[in-house]
Amino acid sequence: MGSGRDWTWFHRLGSPRWFYETTGRWLPLLWAVTLALLVVGLVWGLLYAPQDAKQGNSFRIIYLHVPVSFLALAGYYIMAIAGAVGLIWKMKLSYMVMKSAAPLGAALTFLALFTGAVWGKPTWGTYWVWDARITSMLILLFLYLGVLALQYAFHSQDTGNKASAMLALVGTVNIPIIYKSVDWWYTLHQPATIKLTSAPSMHPDMFKPLLVMILAMYCFYALVLILNTRVEILQRERKTGWVRDLARQADTGPDNQ
Amino acid sequence: MSNAHNAGFTGYLQRDLLLAYRRHGEAASPLIFFLLVATLVPLGVSPEAGRLEPLAPGIIWVMALLATLLSTEGLFASDYQDGSLEQMIIAPQLLAMPVLGKVTAHWLVTGLPLTLVSPIIGIMLSLPSDGFIPMMASLALGTGCLSLVGAVGAALTVSLRKGGLLLSLLVVPLYMPVIIFGSATVQAGIDGLNWFAPLAILGAMLATAVALCPLAIAGALRLVSSN
Amino acid sequence: MQIEGANGSGKTTLLRLLTRALEASSGSVFYAGVDIDQCLYDYREQILYLGHQPGVKLNLSAEENLRWMSPASTAPEAIVSALADLGLRGYEDVPCYSLSAGQHRRVALARLLTSRAQIWLLDEPFTAIDKQGVAFLEQCMQQHLNQGGAILVSTHQDLAITGVRKIRVEPADDAGGF
């Protein structure tokens, strides 16, 4: 490899075993932080933040809806980047991360749509509104489902990974186009827009718990992604020595590890 | 050049056109599908011109999209099965060139006839007269995009047996911007607004697709062949 | 060079690695001392690969298929005579969906006569070919070698050709390094 630079740290990053062991050490902390932020954010937002002038208490769903939507979109990019790293540097671990990010992102997108519907009923009287944000979320869900379907469609896991990674990249290029197009389409047909998340006119007391929740969701995403990837690692590497040792240790009882 | 046979853009374009001509029944089916489903709409909605007219641009575009989607599945299938795909991949020329030739042939056999037949559907669905030229322009450019993007999905799923349904799932979300601007072009024409603006965006999408899709398709074909 | 090995031992994979249809996870292929990744265009111009599938389009005639697979400057008579040499005289204009699998193979093999490639990579070329055809092919291969070409063929049969080197491919073995 290159000009005397030591790339071993980079390639060590690609070792599933290293990932498993390192995350094992940090996992309890991550659990604690995530739970703390979630509890604080939810309690603050759902119980203590001031009521909205127009929407009353039903607007509180925003504390779930907005962070989840953020992560649903960010999650797609994370998945696509993991796929790209896997394609370029041929790292197995990267593909495992991508594989874990897909169902997580899809679930978050579904949750975003669901919370959007819950918000819609008291606010506009219907569960579904074809506004720009919701429609874009729906298309994002389809993009996720496509990546998921492609992963499991091939006999060879390697081919499935690479094909999903390619599709995720194609989707990445398209997401800005899709969002802009849907936005344009909506304003074309609905000049008086009632934006679902009009953040500008938000009172700071309403905004702070939202920030907490967004942070909490990022931690939650990281936590679940790591947990999923660890499971994926164990499954894929189940024939190797170190996984067998782990299983043996688990069988003989909770010895000191 | 010792082994450089007709392996470039024009070579594959001509070959695929010849193959489509030999299988003309198969090649005509997207067109017939287009006509058939356009007949379904009045049956399902209403025969009144007043109710069909506002829906016409959207319906024509959705039907054109479905017809193109249907025909995309077979784009690489026969080459994959008889071994021509492998020869395409190991040829010295850039894989993007044969790919572009094949997709262009596909458009000439699917998108272009759809565009030319669309006025008939327009009449059947009470499309206002101002909408005809924008409709044909938008279909001409839009079906080009649809062929290119559809080919990416076709390449990814060519080795799968029930690839058709998966192909639809992969490709339809990517088709959505095309249909948004395609039908908006027609609607703008009907409303007397400037329909060149959304058409220009369709053109930009087509240009981007021509630049990027062949690379994605080539990558997917190489991946699928390396089994 | 003859490649031998049991079924599934990787003979086809080896040949496909040489065409660069597959990428090796380790190691490289060299052509005339240069890694083929550096001179891919030149390398690929010089190879002719016949795999398990004949690469024959069913809706084209035998002649059209061969013309497609041959260099652009091949004379029409050369194509017809190549088909005749492979026992397909009179079948030139027949669409290939009317021909048998063995006849498809012959159309593909006719490429050996019209191609100007230096290196032949042949995967089980004698499948579904009768004794006469085998003898004729061996003759072609000998001629190619005499003219300075190279052949890598995977087959079970013993070849009646001078100067054959055999290598054996074992499964799960890093065969290679030549």
Contact criterion met (CB < 8 Å) for B86 and C58: no
Question: In the sheet where C150-154 sits, what is the strand order?
Answer: C47-50, C119-123, C150-154, C2-4, C166-168
Chains sharing 3 or more CB pairs under 8 A with chain A? B
Question: Is residue B2 over pLDDT 50?
Answer: no
ipTM of the complex: 0.89
* CA–CA dist B145, B134 (Å, integer): 17
Per-residue pLDDT tens digits for B187-200: 999 999 999 999 99
- Please report which helix (H) or strand (E) contains residue C23, including its range: none
> What residues in C contact B23, CB-CB < 8 Å?
59
Asked if B19 has any chain A CB less than 8 Å from its own CB, the reply is no
Give yes or no for a contact between B152 and B216, defined as CB atoms under 8 angstroms apart: yes
Those residues of chain A whose CB sits closer than 8 Å to some CB in chain B are 139, 142-143, 145-146, 149-150, 153-154, 156, 159, 162-163, 166-167, 169-171, 173-174, 177-178, 180-182, 184-185, 188
Cα–Cα distance for residue pair B84/C169, rounded to 1 Å: 27
Nearest to B69 by CA among B136, B216, B169, B199: B169
Of all residues in chain C, the one with the smallest CA distance to B21 is: C59
Taking the C-alpha atoms of residue C107 and residue C110, their distance in angstroms, rounded to an integer, is 5
In a domain, A5, yes or no: no
Rounded Cα distance, B137 and B198, in Å: 11
Joined tokens for residue A53: 């002038």
Contact B226 C23 (CB under 8 A): yes
Nearest-CA distance B160 → chain A (Å): 7
Does residue A209 contact residue A45 with C-beta atoms inside 8 Å? yes
Which range among A119-133, B59-73, B211-225 shows the weakest confidence by mean pLDDT? A119-133
Pairing of strands C47-50, C166-168: unpaired
According to DSSP, the β-strands at C2-4 and C30-31 are: unpaired
Nearest CA distance, B64 vs chain C (angstrom)? 27
**CA–CA separation, C134 and C159 (whole Å):** 9
**Euclidean distance between CA atoms C104 and C95, whole angstroms:** 11
Does A11 fall in a domain?
A: no
Verify whether the Cβ–Cβ distance B180 to A153 is below 8 Å: no
Tokens of A108: 């978050």
- Residue C9 banded pLDDT, cuts 50, 70, 90: low
Tokens coding C163: 């100067």
Separation of alpha carbons B89 and C16, rounded Å: 11
CB contacts, 8 Å: B26 with chain C: none
CB contact under 8 A, A167 and B174: no
In a domain, B178, yes or no: yes
Residue B3 lies in a domain: no
Give the pairing of strands C34-35 and C47-50.
unpaired
Nearest by CB to B156, which of A163, A173, A177?
A163
Task: Please list, in sequence order, all residues whose beta carbon lies within 8 angstroms of the beta carbon of residue A23, skipping any fewer than 6 positions away.
Answer: A226, A229, A230
Residue A250 maps to a domain: no
d(CA A19, CA A38): 26
Q: What is the rounded CA–CA span in Å between residue C26 and residue C23?
A: 9
Q: Is residue A113 part of a domain?
A: yes
SS3 call for C48: strand
- CA B120 to chain C, closest CA, distance in angstroms equals 32
Measured between beta carbons, which residues in chain C are less than 8 angstroms from residue B90?
19-21, 44, 47, 49
Chain B residues 147-186 with CB within 8 Å of chain A:
152, 156-157, 159-160, 166, 169-170, 172-174, 176-177, 180-181, 184
Nearest C-alpha of chain C: how many angstroms from B6? Answer: 6
Pairing of strands C34-35, C30-31: antiparallel
Q: How is chain B classified by DSSP, letter by letter?
A: --S--S-SHHHHHHHHHHHHHHTHHHHHHHHHHHHHHHHHHHHHS-S-HHHHGGGHHHHHHHHHHHHHHHHHTTTTHHHHHHTHHHHHHHSSS-THHHHHHHHHHHHHHTHHHHHHHHHHHHHHTT--GGGHHHHHHHHHHHHHHHHHHHHHHHHHHTT-TTHHHHHHHHHHHHHHHHHHHHHHHHHHHHHTS-THHHHHHHHHHHHHHHHHHHHHHHHHHHHHH--
Domain that residue B90 falls in: 9-225
Bridge partners of residue C168, in order along the sequence: C4
Which chains does C contact via 3+ CB–CB distances below 8 A? B
Instruction: Note whether residue A31 is domain-resident.
Output: yes
Judge whether residue B1 has pLDDT over 70: no
Residue B148 lies in a domain: yes
Contacts of B190 (CB under 8 A, 6+ apart): B57, B127, B128, B130, B131, B134
pLDDT of amino acid C171:
66
Give the domain range for residue A136: 16-192+202-244
Structure tokens at C35: 């890694």
pLDDT tens by residue, chain A, 257 residues:
444 456 666 666 678 888 888 888 888 998 999 999 888 888 888 777 777 666 677 777 888 888 999 999 999 999 999 999 999 988 889 999 999 999 999 999 999 999 988 888 887 788 888 888 889 999 999 999 999 999 999 988 889 999 999 999 999 999 999 999 999 998 887 655 445 544 445 677 778 888 888 999 999 999 999 999 999 888 888 888 888 888 888 877 655 44
* Percent with pLDDT over 90 in chain C: 0
How does DSSP assign A78-91, residue by residue?
HHHHHHHHHHHH--
Q: What is the DSSP letter of A242?
A: H
pLDDT (0 to 100) of residue C169? 73
Evaluate whether residue A99 is within a structural domain.
yes
Pairing of strands C150-154, C34-35: unpaired
- Inter-residue contact A232 to A96 (CB < 8 Å): yes
For chain C, which residues lie within 8 Å of any Cβ of chain B, measuring from their own Cβ? 19-23, 40-42, 44-49, 51-60, 64, 68-72, 95, 115-118
Read off the pLDDT of residues B3-31 as tens digits, 9 standing for 90 and up.
445 678 999 999 999 999 998 888 888 99
Confidence of residue C43 (pLDDT cuts 50, 70, 90): confident
The domain total for chain B is 1
Q: Does any domain span residue A120?
A: yes
**DSSP SS3 for A8:** helix
Q: Which residue has the higher pLDDT, B82 or C29?
A: B82
Q: How far is CA C135 from the centre of its chain?
A: 16
pLDDT at C172: 58
pLDDT at A1: 44
Read off the pLDDT of residues C100-145 as tens digits, 9 standing for 90 and up: 888 888 899 998 888 888 888 888 888 878 888 888 888 888 888 8
Indicate the number of domains in chain A. 1
Nearest to B169 among A139, A145, A173 (CB): A145
Is residue B81 in a domain?
Answer: yes
Residue C20, pLDDT score: 75
Domains of chain C: 2-168 (3.40.50.300)
- Give me A81's structure tokens: 């980047």
Phi, psi of A166 (to 5 degrees): -65, -45
φ, ψ at A17 (rounded to 5°):
-65, -45
- The CA distance from B99 to the nearest CA of chain A, in Å, is 17
- Tell whether B227 lies on the interface with A, counting CB pairs under 8 A: yes
Q: How many CB pairs under 8 A join B and C?
A: 82
Question: Which of B46, B32, B41, B43 is closest to B60 using CA atoms?
Answer: B41
Read off the DSSP letter of residue A46.
I
* pLDDT, mean of residues C160-175: 68
